[in-house]
């Protein structure tokens, strides 16, 4: 029996068991189990033996940085973001990876991330999305609240250090202007239960061609509803959630999945989220 798990603290309701169990079933790995393992931050430094008892783990907040000290090796993506959300146990050798970037890139592969892109927010997932956009040649606007300008400046410096020819600017999210090929929402605005909120005005939505919202609950945010009402493409966060899990299975045991398989799981996740909110 091969054991896998998600660790974090606190661990409330999670879509991870649904997603990973479906992926195990699709790949024929019926001998695999997946569970939730809550590890208190005070003891994460002493959790090497616990982590070693699993064939692989996913990692969520607040442990994405703190588990790094327990790793024997870091993959390139984990080094780039100083963040681990996936661990492979390779015969007792723990290797840390970051699959969030894979989740974003794969779910947004039909979106113009190499064009004129505005990202709302600059922390956590927004930082990753901004760096990936710059690395893929996008002309990037970081749209933030005044209180977050210093963080945006630090992110801009980080981007330029990784990609010296990147085009990056900072804008006030409340007075955002201009036309964009892609708008990415990396803020929590519009997340359940505050589903009547939208991070930008209707005018901004009208000036953007396509949208990616990292929020997966609700499955269709107000931002996405408004964009789709105008006939524009809008992708939600459930796809990113599933694709980062797919990458974990590729890492753990070389799992292979079809686009059709993944689409079915994304729909299942969206249906589960919608049912949860009723």
Q: Which residues are the active-site residues?
A: 64
What is the DSSP track for the chain?
A: -EEEEEEESS--S-SHHHHHHHHHHHTT-TTEEEEEEE--GGGGGG-HHHHHTSSEEEE-TT-TTGGGGG-SEE-HHHHHHT---EEEEETTEEEEE--HHHHHHHHTTTS-TTSEEEEE--STHHHHHHHHHHHTT-EEEEEE-GGGHHHHHHHHHHHHHH-TT-EEEEEEGGG--S-EEEEEE-S-TT-TT-TT--SS-HHHHHTEEEEEE---SSSS-HHHHHHHHTT-EEE-HHHHHHHHHHHHHHHHH-----HHHHHHHHHHHHHHHHHHT-
**Do 103 and 235 meet the contact criterion of CB atoms below 8 Å apart?**
no
End-to-end CA distance of the chain: 36
Cα dihedral sign for 238, 243, 244, 245? Answer: positive
Smallest CA-to-CA distance from 163 within 136, 183, 141 is with 136
């Amino acid at each position: 029996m091969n054991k896998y798990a998600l660790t974090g603290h606190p661990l409330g309701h999670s879509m991870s068991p649904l997603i990973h169990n479906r992926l195990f079933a699709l790949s024929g790995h019926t001998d695999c189990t997946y569970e939730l393992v809550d590890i208190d931050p005070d003891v994460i430094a002493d959790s090497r033996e616990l982590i070693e008892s699993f064939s692989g783990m996913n990692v969520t907040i607040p442990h994405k940085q703190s588990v790094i000290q327990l790793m024997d090796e870091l993959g390139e993506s984990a080094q780039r973001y100083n963040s681990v959300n996936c661990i492979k146990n390779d015969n007792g050798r723990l290797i840390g990876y970051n699959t969030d970037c894979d989740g974003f890139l794969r779910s947004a592969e039909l979106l113009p991330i190499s064009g004129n892109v505005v990202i709302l927010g600059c922390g956590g997932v927004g930082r990753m999305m901004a760096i990936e956009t710059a690395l893929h040649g996008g002309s990037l606007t970081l749209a933030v609240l005044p209180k977050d300008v210093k963080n945006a400046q630090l992110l801009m410096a980080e981007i330029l250090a990784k990609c010296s020819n990147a085009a990056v600017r900072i804008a006030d999210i409340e007075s955002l202007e201009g036309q964009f090929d892609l708008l990415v929402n990396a803020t929590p605005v519009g997340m359940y239960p505050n589903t009547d909120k939208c991070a930008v005005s209707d005018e901004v939505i009208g000036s953007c061609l396509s949208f990616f919202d990292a929020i997966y609950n609700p499955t269709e945010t107000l931002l996405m509803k408004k964009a789709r009402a105008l006939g524009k493409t809008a992708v939600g966060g459930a796809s990113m959630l599933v694709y980062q899990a797919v990458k974990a299975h590729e890492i753990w045991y070389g799992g292979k999945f079809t686009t059709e398989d993944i689409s079915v799981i994304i729909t299942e996740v969206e249906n589960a989220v919608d049912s949860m909110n009723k």
